[in-house]
């Protein structure tokens, strides 16, 4: 009797396990079908996507090349301007001490000093407070 009960319980457990297994396999089969549809759609659109990606990459590469060329041109121009300015400044440094030794600059300096002195004198003389 215990043996019959054991067989009956094992049979019920086996049927329940078989039922759950069938349900799980049906779900897996539906998921595989959905994945297959998705994969087919992706495979049909993938060449177009890759072509667009290649065009975008090509455009980015062309833009980068153009920007690099413009930066190099600007760098070359900036280097030339720097050399010209350096040359002019060096020339002015060489000329300035010689030019400042001319008598005209000494007279201009003295005239400026005299004008300042007269202005200070007039300010003091005209703004003097009467006590």
pLDDT tens per residue across span 11-28? 999 999 999 999 999 999
Q: Work out the mean pLDDT of the chain and round it to a whole number.
A: 89
The pLDDT tens digits of the residues spanning 88-98 come to 888 888 777 77
Mean pLDDT of 35-42: 91
Structure tokens at 46: 């993938």
Tell me how far apart the alpha carbons of residues 94 and 62 are, in angstroms, rounded to a whole number. Answer: 48
Tell me how far apart the alpha carbons of residues 43 and 30 are, in angstroms, rounded to a whole number. Answer: 20
* Domain spans, the chain: 10-99
- Alpha carbon of 16 to those of 6, 13, 21, 63, 113: distances in Å? 15, 5, 8, 66, 117
Mean pLDDT of 24-45: 92
Using a cut of 0.85, tell me whether the model's pTM lies above it: no
Instruction: Identify the H or E element spanning 110.
Output: helix 103-126
């Amino acid at each position: 009797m215990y043996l019959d009960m054991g067989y009956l319980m094992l049979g019920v457990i086996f049927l329940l396990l078989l039922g759950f297994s069938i349900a799980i396999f049906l779900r897996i089969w539906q998921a595989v079908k959905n994945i297959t549809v998705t994969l087919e759609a992706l495979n049909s659109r993938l060449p177009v996507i890759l072509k667009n990606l290649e065009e975008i990459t090509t455009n980015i590469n062309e833009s980068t090349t153009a920007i690099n060329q413009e930066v190099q041109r600007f760098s070359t121009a900036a280097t030339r301007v720097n050399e010209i300015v350096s040359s002019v400044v060096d020339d002015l440094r060489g000329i300035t001490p010689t030019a400042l030794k001319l008598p005209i600059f000494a007279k201009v300096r003295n005239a400026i000093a005299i004008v300042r002195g007269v202005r200070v004198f007039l300010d003091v003389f005209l703004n003097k407070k009467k006590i």
